[in-house]
Amino acid sequence: MKVTAVHDRKMQFRIQARQHVLLSDQPVENGGEDEGMTPPELFLASLASCAAFYAAQYLAIRNLASGGIEVEVEADKLRDPARLGNLRLHVKSPVSLNADQHLGMERAVHRCLIHQTLLQPLSISIHLEMPVSR
């Protein structure tokens, strides 16, 4: 998988994955034009959409519902170092679930690729590339 972010102007970045493009920006009070989600909002959006996908699949496979799932993700902004923490997922099912189905839905959401990624120790390498000085 590969995603590329390119600085367009001011605080805006064009983000591309395969043929899909979206815009990230900052609110006006942070020097942006508020024309897109901030990077932390995109991070939470990734978790929410991944969890929603797994929840929707759970319902569809069991013929319980073919749409209508909603997932809300909230996080606190923590300091030292600055980061998001205390993530809370709120999954709203469009149909009532019995106790077994409720447990199954929770297990399905826990299998979300983003959720599982966040639960494991991460390794992030940074390679800085610059033009050669003459």
Domain locations in the chain as residue ranges = 1-36, 38-119
pLDDT of residue 88: 97
Task: Return d(Cα 111, Cα 128) in angstroms, integer.
Answer: 34
pLDDT of residue 133: 85
| Segment 78-129, tens digit of pLDDT | 999 999 999 999 999 999 999 999 999 999 999 999 999 999 999 999 999 9
Residue 16 pLDDT more than 90?
A: yes
DSSP letters for 35-87: -SB-HHHHHHHHHHHHHHHHHHHHHHHTTS-SS--EEEEEEEEETTTTEEEEE
pLDDT tier at 22, thresholds 50, 70, 90: very high
pLDDT of residue 134: 79
> Beta strands 20-24 and 4-9: pairing type?
unpaired
| Segment 55-90, tens digit of pLDDT | 999 999 999 999 999 999 999 999 999 999 999 999
Global confidence as pTM: 0.91
Please give the average per-residue pLDDT across 20-43, as a whole number.
96
**CATH superfamily label, 38-119:** K homology (KH) domain (3.30.300.20)
